[in-house]
Copies of this chain bind each other. A is one copy, B any other.
Amino acid sequence: MKGLRTTIVAALMLTTVTVSAQKPLTLENTVPGGSEFRKHYNAPAYGQFAGNSDIFIATESDGYHIGDAIISPKQIDKTLTDNQKQHMSYIVGWQNAEMVWVYSKKGSAAYAINLKTNTIADSITQIDDDGETDFSPNFKYIAYCYGSDLYVAGRNGSRKVNADSLPGVVYGQAVHRNEFGIEKGTSWSESGRLLAFYRMDESMVGEYPIVDITEREAAVKPIRYPMAGDTSHEVQIGIYNTDNQNIVYLKTASPVNRYFTNIAWSPDDKLLLVAELNREQNHLWLNVYNATDGSLVKTLFEEKNPEWVEPCIAPLFISNSQFVWVSERDGFKHLYLYDINKSTCKQLTRGNWCVTDLYGCNRASGEIFFQANAEGYLTRDIYKVSPKGKTTRLSNGYGVHSARFSKACGRFVDDFSAPDYAILSTLRNASDGKVIDTLKNVRNTYEGYTLPIIKTVNLKSADGRFDLCGRLILPADFDSTKTYPVIDYMYGGPHSQLVDASWLYGASTWKMYFAQQGYIMFTMDNRGTESRGVEYEHCIHRRLGTCEMEDQMVGINYLRSLPYVDTTRIGIHGWSFGGFMTISIMLNHNTEFKAGVAGGPVCDWSLYEVMYGERYMDTPQENPDGYARNCVADSIGRLNGRLLVIHGDIDPVVVWQNSLRLLQNAVEEDVLVDYAVYPQHEHNVIGPDRVHLFKRILQYFDDFLK
């Protein structure tokens, strides 16, 4: 590892990656969804730890690597009858290194295959299949949803958990539109005996009409979409007991205008922790509930913030009474150790940097494993911290490390990439970070291709307080005596970071293709983006787009200062929040940009959903000026340059009404906006059609910027 580290540092000092080779890039190999993309993608080693063990089973093209043995998919397949393996059977998980669970869509059943005996050792059958299957930790039950209902399947068949089925009420599904780190709607206790689940009543929420044009006659498939300031859904948390099939609901405060997030079980199944927030999202209660009767044991602590509180990482228990909590309360995201019984709190980490992920703990040693950007905001490293607060770095090499830990946290896989290093996945000891095995090692995913020149530039935020890092991609045949058109690609919204110390500085590879076509590509993260601390992140409150834009103009002014940038040919492009930013900047600096492309843009924050929208903007009723000032649909009359707006016609995130309203106003205001629709695509154009999307974007810049 030492040699590698030196190389990277040397390369970094040049802040330039240059590789000379023969083949030109294509959209098919640079755009995700392109037929050649996967070949060049810097994916980490696939695989997972078996059950509770420290055995990492790597999934490779020839099969599953278990120690020195390789189990081919065929061997697993042979165990199943033709009927069992029909319709996309896939691995659900490894109960241990000898027992793998395979899920078969046909028959909606999971089969446990003993790889020693090549027999089916166990099976669980669902009544049907409708999405995710959530296995209990002991592989005894599967929780799953069918329609609006929640089911639990075990060896004795499948049973509907909820008694009633009411219109507009759904059980067991993710709630609050997947905000607050919520990704699913069920949570098994460690013993696998109790199942916490969400019950969401959406009957009072407005329906947004999504139209399916693939039907013989177009048909409406409405979604419940609560818009900022409007009536939102109501959530309850139930606990299903697999022993007696009873349900207990937590006795929370009224679910009206309240968020229930970050559910966590104590190891002994006795307590359930829930982080609850008011609708304003500026006041959090960490509540402890009794899992037996649903009663409130205590409110362990509260957190408040003038702008917002946004818990995204659930409590991590290290014993039946102690857990780790991630909070921004001191201005940066850090770890706090709580004791429920003693009601004590100890801050474990500290500094002008952020914890960016929480992996797990070793209950024996009490050590907690996490990711943070303590070595610089472009980097991510893996650390452990003792219950006393002693922090140890477990990863090495400048760049971005992310980890997958075994359940007991005896080992982890470190997935590492650096500006000039595509991917290095290593299996390591959790205690000291020592490398046990190299799982994947690809230095350059574009070996043999002509890559552009990629470099970074250090800038300062518009208020002079924060470092910003811009990434420039120059054509491979760059000639500093010529001038080039430039495209600033941005996102700029919360929870994002586009420039980091990973492979090619995080440049998505289609940008390299655009550079090959003669454009200079620029990207820079602005204030409001992730993991830089509360002051950097919260300045956007009630005025989304304002300081983000000021920072982006720092980047633009830097570009304008470059002798090889043609200042009459500056373009701008972004998607989603970046689409909003693109339009906003084109309207507010309407003499500086020749062409822009905005995909899936929020055009009026009052058309966006409550959870995200109100966190940053408050409600339209509370903040009318903020909504009005940042409504690009209403100010489209200021447009000068050429603007292409793109939208998926079944976008359930930024609903189509956004860009249609903008177009309607454009007609009213007598300006011409170009438009593209991707039929039957949601918020992002994904899959093979994405290549078409980038052809269109490139064509637009070729038409109006080149």
Which residues of A are in contact with B by a Cβ distance under 8 Å? Answer: 206-209, 211, 213-214, 216-220, 222, 225, 227, 230, 607, 649, 655-657, 660-661, 663-664, 667-668, 670, 672, 674-680, 689, 691-692, 695-696, 699, 703
- Do residues A667 and B660 form an inter-chain contact, with CB atoms below 8 A? no
24 A-B Cβ contacts within 8 A?
A206-B217, A207-B217, A208-B217, A208-B218, A209-B219, A214-B664, A216-B227, A216-B230, A217-B225, A217-B227, A217-B607, A218-B656, A218-B657, A220-B220, A660-B677, A663-B679, A664-B679, A667-B689, A667-B692, A670-B691, A672-B695, A672-B699, A675-B675, A675-B677
Q: Tell which of B222, B227, B660 touches A213, judged by Cβ atoms closer than 8 Å.
A: B660
Most B CB contacts (10 A, CB to CB) among A213, A216, A703 go to A213
Query: Closest residue to A663 on the B side, CB-wise?
Result: B679
> Which residues of the other chain, B, contact A207 by a CB distance below 8 angstroms?
217
Residues on B with beta carbons closer than 8 Å to the beta carbon of A699: 672
A664 near B680: Cβ-Cβ < 8 Å:
yes
Contact A655 B218 (CB under 8 A): yes
Give the interface SS of chain A, mostly helix, strand, loop or mixed.
mixed
A154 to B607, CA, bound (A): 48
Closest partner residue, chain B, to A703 (CB atom): B703
Give bound CA distance, A660 to B208, whole Å: 19
Q: A209, B211: Cβ atoms under 8 Å?
A: yes
A212's nearest neighbour on chain B, judged by CB, is B209
Q: Across the interface, do A677 and B677 meet the contact criterion of CB distance under 8 Å?
A: yes
A689 to B665, alpha carbons, bound, how many Å?
11
Contact of A679 among B218, B219, B660, B679 (CB under 8 A): B660
Q: Contact at A672–B696, with CB atoms within 8 Å?
A: yes
Q: How far is the CA of A213 from the CA of B206 in the complex (A)?
A: 14
CA distance A607 to B678 in the complex (A): 20
B residues within 8 A CB of A657?
A: 213, 217-218
A658 CB to closest chain B CB (Å) equals: 9
Bound: A670/B28 CA distance, A? 12
Task: Decide if A213 touches B664 in the complex (CB within 8 Å).
Answer: yes
Give Cα A655 to B691, complex, Å. 28
Shortest A427–chain B CB gap in Å is 42
Query: What 3 A-B pairs are tightest by C-beta distance, nearest first?
Result: A664-B679, A206-B217, A209-B220
Of B218, B656, B680, B703, which one neighbours A209 at CB under 8 angstroms?
B218
Q: Which residue of chain B is the closest to A207 with respect to CB atoms? A: B217
Q: Which of B217, B225, B607, B661 contacts A230 (CB 8 A)?
A: B217
The CA of A62 and the CA of B350, in the complex, are separated in Å by 85
